[in-house]
Amino acid sequence: MTRRMLNLGALATLCAAGAVGCDKDDENDFQDLYIVSVNPVDSQTNVPIGTQIVLRFSVPVDPSSYSPMSAQIIMVDQTNSSVPISIRPTAAEPASEFVIITPATPLQPNVTYGVAVREFVRAAGDGERIVAPFAAEFSTGPVLSTIPGWPPFLTPNPAPPNAGPSGTFSLTSQLNTRRARHSAVALQSGDVAIFGGTTPIVARNGGTVLRSAEVYKRVQGLWVASGSNNGQGMFYPRYGHTATLLTNGKILVAGGGDERTVWDTAELYDPLSDTFSPTPGRMAESRQYHTANLIGNGNVVLAGGWSMSVLLGNALGATANTALITNSIEVFDVTAGTFTRSTQRMNMDRCYHTGTVLADGRLMVAGGYRVPWFGGNWCPTTSTADVYSPEAGSAGAQGTLFATGSMKVTRMTHTATIFASGNAAGLVLIVGGYTSTPFYALLQNAEIYDPNIDIGGGLKGSFELVAANMAVGRRAHTASLLQGGPNSGKVLLVGGSMSQPQFQSYFDPPPHVWPSTEGAPCALPAAPPVPVPGPWPVSIQQACIGTRTAELFDPFGFGYQLTAPYRGVDQTGRFDWTRNAAGNQTIMVGTSPVIGLSRPGRYYHTATPLPSGHILIAGGWDCPFCAFVGTWSGPETALQTCELYNP
């Protein structure tokens, strides 16, 4: 499959009425913008209704791609106000290289207009795709003239509908389905796709693990449910899975599970055809709560995670529950569609860890929790990290594993964000999470990982604590590197739970016990905190609470100009609440009201950057409190609301 970038080659030619395609480039080397005036006018009158703007593409295009609903082609005036248009091909054939845009209202004299193609345009025949954005401008007057290039007033990636002022959160359209623990990925078009998850909080007690998928159309600000598989979406219901954008524009959705099984299956989503297809090969190992990262050769490295979900033991007095968490690594070969287990293994079993591709192309995994555990002990968290270097140029079964430094604090359900530019480029920010060793605690602290620091023995990579702490402890939050705007280069931390993981166990009569979807409490206590009435299944819970707050981390909080490699972040980094232009704290607005606690917040949500720099925040749990009861009490809810953060 080839891709061509729309590119204006020459100034458009003013043609006589009806002379569509005059001055045609026979070699088809570039695309020309033609303006066809039905009734030429002078500068004192409006250009009449019926004026046609003809776009010529280098390959035939499917005219069904150009409907007014798709908003793939737009027209604006120099104030950036939308101009209503109709769009049609120039020929009756199923595909044409010309598309005619007709304004629905008269164009004004001596005004500059812009025409833009912003989204994917599906091509007919061999499946070629024309890639946006692309735009041209023209002016009305004695003649219609064109100027190739972006009009200065036309923003290539405009703010999505409903975006609020800088530094604030604002509601956008709701998901079609409530969901938490889903995955989200930014598509090449700039739209956002969401896959699976669970609703309301755990499937087995009245909820559902989801197969469905939906796409946020950033131009319209609307969610569109996937129609694949007769509207069912994926082939498997999944939560605790991963979704990874591939270089060919498809998304690899891998692993995860339902309430009883961890999958070794994966599937590919094609956003242009809105279809899922199974990968030719199955995963080398079943995985849930693993990591999946795209590497430089276009393949995907999957590391760690649950490898089975059923804990064996006596449901009411379990003292020897066992489960499998893996230290294995496998690589998905995009070309072959197969998975290959690496001969290398991480130095420790881990899940709920983070995976970060470093500036040199290696993969750094950090933290998480591990097994074994015994009796009533909770899963021990780890501070260790590994650096994996895949084989260049192929999926490879080998790769190289490097030891590196350890974090200063053991942690799980934390975030890891790599700085992309400036003096902090290449450094990784580790924030928050939960620790169970040496004692149970929600974390407010953060660390910086510098892969270039020599730690002795020929090894590199050092973690240093940031002196500043977050205003509140967070786990299961999101972290997004902001691009553009006054907060460019800062990291936005959104929501999260401000409590220890809730205790959440599901069981039938022995010997089957399902693990907590929170992950941390791995074994039942010596005795349940309350009597457990039958019939089973039942659940036991601890208190939990989400937060509506958000904070920004500035690696240069005191204005120092530092050079990389650099360990001074621990002296200069600063956290601060998100604030608007007036300096007032701003918080999220989109969680659902709950009895006794309004808009409590969200965690296990997703936060995805849009091309405009806005962050799309979707779904999650609100769970403001949970009672110690033998069944879900109802306050915890998988959210349908979504909101935008304007940096």
What pLDDT digit, counting tens, does each position of 539-564 carry? 333 445 788 899 999 988 766 666 65
CA 374, 378, 384, 385 torsion-angle sign: positive
Query: What beta strand segments (E) does 486-566 contain?
Result: 491-494, 506-507, 512-514, 550-554
In this prediction, residue 142 carries a pLDDT of 61
In this prediction, residue 412 carries a pLDDT of 94
Asked if 223 contacts 164 with a C-beta cutoff of 8 angstroms, the reply is no
604 alpha-carbon distance from chain centroid: 13
Q: How many CB atoms lie within 10 A of CB 315?
A: 22
In this prediction, residue 220 carries a pLDDT of 82
In this prediction, residue 219 carries a pLDDT of 77
In this prediction, residue 324 carries a pLDDT of 79
Q: Which of 60-74, 243-257, 437-451, 585-599 has the highest mean pLDDT?
A: 243-257
Lowest mean pLDDT among 239-253, 401-415, 438-452: 438-452
First to last CA, the chain: 36
In this prediction, residue 525 carries a pLDDT of 33
Q: Confidence band (pLDDT; 50, 70, 90) for 69?
A: very low
Query: What beta strand segments (E) does 504-572 contain?
Result: 506-507, 512-514, 550-554
pLDDT at 359 over 90: yes
* Angle (nearest 5°) at CA 369 between 260 and 208: 25
Beta bridge partners of 386: 365, 403
* Angle (nearest 5°) at CA 186 between 600 and 384: 70
Q: Which of 15-19, 463-467, 599-603 has the highest mean pLDDT?
A: 463-467
pLDDT, tens digit (0-9, with 9 covering 90-100), for 371-429: 654 434 456 899 999 999 987 655 566 788 999 999 999 999 999 999 988 888 899 99
In this prediction, residue 248 carries a pLDDT of 87
* Beta-strand relationship, 3-5 and 129-131: parallel
Asked if 212 contacts 233 with a C-beta cutoff of 8 angstroms, the reply is yes
Q: Which domains does the chain have, with CATH numbers?
A: 3-148 (2.60.40.1220)
- The candidate with the shortest Cα–Cα distance to 411, out of 447, 375, 377, is 447
Average pLDDT, stretch 448-459? 91
Average pLDDT, stretch 325-332? 93
Residues 22, 99: Cα–Cα separation, whole Å: 14
Average pLDDT, stretch 297-320? 65
Question: What's the mean pLDDT when you consider all of the chain?
Answer: 74
Asked if 292 contacts 305 with a C-beta cutoff of 8 angstroms, the reply is no
